[in-house]
Amino acid sequence: MTETRPAGAIPRPDPSAAATGASRLGRRARSLLLSDYFVLWLSLAYFLALLPFLPTLGTPANLANLLSNMWPLLVVAIGQTFVLTIAGIDLSQGSVAGLTSVVGAMLLATAAPAQVLSNAPIWGVVLTEAGGPLAGVAWGTALGVAAMVALAALIGLANGAAVAVLRMPAFMVTLVTMIAVGAFAIWLTQSNNIRELPEDFVALGKGTLVSVYFGERAEPQIPRRQLHDFVTWPMLIALGVAVLAHVALNRTVFGRWVFAVGVNRTAAEISGVPVRRVIVAVFVISAVCAAIGSVLYTARLETGRPTLGGGNFLLDVIGATVIGGTSLFGGKAKILWTFFGVLFFVLLSNTLNLMNLSAFHIDMVKGGVILAAALLDVARTRMSRGAAP
Amino acid sequence: MTALLAFEELTKAWFGVPAVADLTLAVPEGATLGLIGENGAGKSTLMNVVGGVTPPTSGRMLWRGAPYAPRSAAEATARGVAFIHQELNLFANLSIAENLFVDGFPTRFGLIDRAATAERTRAMCARVGLDLDPATPVGELSPGERQLVEIAKALHREADLIIFDEPTTSLTPRETARLFEVIARLKAEGRTLIYISHILGDVARLSDRIAVLRDGRLVDEGAAAAFDVGRMIRSMIGRDLAGMYPPRSRPPGEAVVFEARGLDQPGVLADVGFSIRAGEILGLFGLMGSGRSELARAIFGLDPLADGTMTLAGRPLAGGPGARIAAGLAFVTENRREEGLLLESPVAENLSLVVARGFGRGPFGVIDAEAHAVATERAKTELGVRAGAIAVQPVKALSGGNQQKVVIGKWLMRQPKLFLLDEPTRGVDVGAKFEIYALADRMAAAGDAVLFISSELEELIGMCDRILVMSRGEIAGEFAESPFRREAILAAAFRETVA
């Protein structure tokens, strides 16, 4: 029995395609969720929702504070974004920030109190009562910053080599680095801070180029506290790093290789991508970003602090990056996302502080928000899969 | 004859595009239905509907005359549907017994009864002709043995309908023969089977009835006896395929492009030497484990060699894949998804991956986006890749044949001198196979050398100028005469097993 059916009958309209009001709303929600700007809209909505309850939230002083909190975190998170793109993770960023903070400060300090630091192994070797070796030297600050960055690059190189050549898991390698480098930083000063940093260095973290004033014009002398920082050195540095990172990740051959390694390392290798060099470079970038972040933090605090990257540092960095939408599984990242993620995270911390919550409560809420972001990422991934069957 | 499973005007659409359209078809109880169609014809979607993975958009299914609408895979399993996939659903780290009883061990006093488990496992394995220790981890079994374990699992659940989806792709000829014996036994037991495969000869041999899908529609259906391979192909692609293979455009040249001497890798390759001329397609035939893929990997510098020399265009080959690509090598591996593609990345980025450096401008290698778009679009057109906006569409959204064209295309953009094609047509439908053969011919016509590795002797006979046979890591024979002697080639490949 043979039966042949004619092919090419008219396709019937698919009933699910009928555009009802509800499905149009659903499609809007979908495109909003999948948009690059989703976290920005989320931040704005959150800001506006809380504004009536927290009147201080919108004051110029608070906004200036919010922005100033954002820049160092942004720089460090950008470094983390690169590592996450190749499906790695860098847990050592906090320790690198702490060590470079100490090293920069011990080189640059203009004076140091013996009663605090005389027990430290660096006392008398690098640091004395007259400060560090670069105190008063021409271009001293530049040299100090260069030393911080170079030291970080070396640590990144070690991380990268262990991951790329020895094929060790990034989590293990950077965990070990985190512990060892963190302990080394604390040992250097015996857990003490180094103060008395030169002014031009401090300017890197606090220097203002444009301030804004919202008071009477007639006032003869404006009190300092009514002037609000607007354009600052850390802002310029962080945005500069962000623009460079964006170009590197999205517009260069190197960026293409980074994504290729993140999506499928084996296929990248067979296609001639220099996989090992890419991995090493990515870890160097991550550590250097940690060092630049450390410059901004150290200068802002006017203190070289070995525990700079302790506590919640890592939570903030990875949390902000992941909230932005960068995937922990690699191959999915944008600097713009990280920017918005950092903005949201800083806004979140700021509002929780304004609510007078204890540090414990703040961490509980932050943890919850990261969990929500992870869930959202799962939903977004599923949606984007559905969109392209 | 009652139908075990019947589809009535079944439609399944994804975002308004029907993958299965208005399908009405009955699977008679106790019969074997061969289901064929090109990739993307709707076979997998239809089977997902049967298996409860996805609900139909409209229409319905009947199971022994009663409405059947599974809401989950578990519900379909409970009803008596079992799937034997190409990618098996077994736990490699667990033993055969644990795999079979994972959803309910025989117990004694609330504890697992190990003796009873082992005994029942042995009995179940015997039904599918497996004689193995029930405690053997599944990870240690060959692909064929795993498949039999999967079938034993289906029998254990007393499945009424067993669906085979491309079961033979990773099996050796002997394992395939054993599988077919088991299938014959299942048929004798009166079980209903659906057999899906690209190997049309197998479908014709095993099936009682054959149904052909094209673009989601049933285009041909009837008793298997009324089908020959020609009719199957005509129905699948909607036209006559004059030949399975394109004619070769140019005879091979004289100049030797690639030469290998004394390649040695203990336990894998033994004293392998051969050469390929410009414009020549050299076939490399061998069974699984004969060393054919390992040879390709060694030539490409992925695996180290203990001994031997290779020259490409007169220069010695050395270094890792990067250096060898620069020297003019290209490698289409047998695992397209794992080693060939960035599945999540757009088609365009896959096409330009090998030549990415060439689009970099200035000291920082900023990509010339326009040149990139033009070049990848041109490659897409030349290759005949059926894709939409290649700058955004991820390559995983393409059918197998189009994915393979992308893999070949990324190498073509580099204009290599020697192509290593390892199973380039695996898991690819008839129409796309032809296009891939045409690409191989185009490479040869352009004066490049092609090493065409395959376990399908027919395609080597159809496309190659010369065929090498590998067995146990050695070159077991070389066949240059045309027409090729099929029996002699097979005898060389089976050397160890026959002797």
User: Would the CB atoms of B322 and A274 count as touching at under 8 Å?
Assistant: yes
One DSSP character per residue, A124-141 reads: TTTBBTTB-TTTT-TTHH
CA closest to A8 among chain B residues: B217
For residue A219, the model assigns a pLDDT of 65
Helix-helix angle A93-108:A170-189, to 10 degrees: 30
Phi, psi for A206 (deg, rounded to 5): -130, -15
> Which residues of B are less than 8 Å from A259 in CB distance?
342, 345, 349
Select the more confidently predicted residue: A152 or B432: A152
Partners of residue B107 on adjacent β-strands: B112
For residue A15, the model assigns a pLDDT of 44
User: Would the CB atoms of B322 and A14 count as touching at under 8 Å?
Assistant: no
User: Would the CB atoms of B342 and A270 count as touching at under 8 Å?
Assistant: no
Model pLDDT for residues B313-322, shown as the tens digit of each residue: 999 998 889 9
For residue B384, the model assigns a pLDDT of 87
Please tell me the least confidently modeled range out of A8-12, B44-48, B212-216, B267-271.
Answer: A8-12
The arithmetic mean of pLDDT across residues B120-130, rounded, is 84
Please tell me the least confidently modeled range out of A80-94, A285-299, B82-96, B445-459.
Answer: B82-96
B240 pLDDT more than 60: no
User: Would the CB atoms of A248 and B219 count as touching at under 8 Å?
Assistant: no
For residue A17, the model assigns a pLDDT of 45
Q: Which of B52, B96, B43, B44 is nearest to B75 (CA)?
A: B52
For residue B300, the model assigns a pLDDT of 95
Question: How far is A364 from B294, CA to CA, in rounded Å?
Answer: 53
B412 pLDDT more than 80: yes
* Domains of chain B with CATH codes: 3-237 (3.40.50.300), 256-498 (3.40.50.300)
CA closest to B387 among chain A residues: A388
pLDDT class for B496, splitting at 50, 70, 90?
A: very low
For residue B16, the model assigns a pLDDT of 66
Contact A73, A345 (CB under 8 A): yes
B109-146: b (≥16 Cβ within 10 Å) or e:
eeeeeeeebbebbbebbebbebebebeeebeebebbbb
User: Would the CB atoms of A259 and B345 count as touching at under 8 Å?
Assistant: yes
User: Would the CB atoms of A12 and B11 count as touching at under 8 Å?
Assistant: yes
User: Which of A7, A253, A271 has the CB atom closest to B360's CB atom?
Assistant: A253
Partners of residue B163 on adjacent β-strands: B83, B194
Give the SS3 label for residue B70: coil
User: Would the CB atoms of B18 and A11 count as touching at under 8 Å?
Assistant: yes
Question: How far is B445 from B183, CA to CA, in rounded Å?
Answer: 44
For residue B441, the model assigns a pLDDT of 93
Model pLDDT for residues A205-239, shown as the tens digit of each residue: 888 888 877 777 766 676 766 777 778 999 999 99
Question: How far is A97 from A178, CA to CA, in rounded Å?
Answer: 10
Dump strand ranges (E) for A166-213.
Answer: 208-213
In Å, how far is B401's CA from the nearest CA of chain A?
Answer: 16
User: Would the CB atoms of A251 and B214 count as touching at under 8 Å?
Assistant: no
The arithmetic mean of pLDDT across residues B139-160, rounded, is 82
The arithmetic mean of pLDDT across residues B150-179, rounded, is 82
* Highest mean pLDDT: which range of B142-156, B163-177, B379-393: B379-393
For residue A385, the model assigns a pLDDT of 58
Model pLDDT for residues B363-377, shown as the tens digit of each residue: 889 999 999 999 999
pLDDT < 70 positions in chain A? 1-22, 218-220, 222, 224-225, 384-389
For residue A384, the model assigns a pLDDT of 65
Question: How far is B85 from B63, CA to CA, in rounded Å?
Answer: 22
Pair of tokens at residue B429:
């439908």
In Å, how far is A59's CA from the nearest CA of chain B?
Answer: 42
In Å, how far is A272's CA from the nearest CA of chain B?
Answer: 4
Question: Does the CB of B58 have a partner CB in chain A at under 8 Å?
Answer: yes
User: Would the CB atoms of B338 and A332 count as touching at under 8 Å?
Assistant: no
Question: Does the CB of A388 have a partner CB in chain B at under 8 Å?
Answer: yes
B481 pLDDT more than 80: no
- Report percent pLDDT > 70 for chain B: 95
Partners of residue B451 on adjacent β-strands: B282, B420
User: Would the CB atoms of A331 and B344 count as touching at under 8 Å?
Assistant: yes
* Omega prior to B483 cis, within 30 of 0: yes
For residue A2, the model assigns a pLDDT of 40
> Which residues of A are less than 8 Å from B353 in CB distance?
256, 260, 267-268, 271, 273
Summary mean pLDDT of chain B: 86
User: Would the CB atoms of A12 and B366 count as touching at under 8 Å?
Assistant: no
> Which residues of B are less than 8 Å from A271 in CB distance?
321, 325, 353-354, 410
pLDDT class for B129, splitting at 50, 70, 90?
A: confident
Amino acid at site A274: P
pTM for the full predicted model: 0.77
E strand or H helix at B350, and its extent?
A: helix B347-351
Question: Does the CB of B326 have a partner CB in chain A at under 8 Å?
Answer: yes
B438 pLDDT more than 60: yes
Question: Does the CB of A4 have a partner CB in chain B at under 8 Å?
Answer: yes
B23 pLDDT more than 50: yes
Select the more confidently predicted residue: B283 or B146: B283
